[in-house]
Amino acid sequence: MGIGDKAKDALGDEQKSDAALDKAGDAADAKTGGKHSDKIDSAQDAADKKLGNE
C-alpha cells in the first residue's frame, strides 16, 4: 500500500468519523430541542480530538 492509498484511507476514516459525530450531535440536539447545543458541540469537538481527526 502506497502513501497515496494510506492518505485516501485516512481521509475516508476522518470523513466517516466526522459524519457520525455530526449525526449523533444532530440527534442529541433534536432530542433536547436545541437547549444544549453549545454543550453538544463541545462534546463533538472533544470526541473529534480524541479520535485524532479534526
What the block records as the C-alpha cell of 34 is 436545541
- pLDDT reported for residue 10: 62
Residues 6+ apart with CB under 8 A from 44: 21, 22, 24, 25
3-class state of residue 36 by DSSP: coil
- pLDDT reported for residue 19: 86
pLDDT in tens, the chain (54 residues): 566 566 556 666 778 888 888 999 999 999 999 999 999 999 999 988 887 654
The crossing angle, in degrees rounded to 10, of helices 37-51 and 3-31 is 160
- pLDDT reported for residue 48: 86
3-class state of residue 52 by DSSP: coil
- CA 45 from chain centre, in angstroms, equals 7
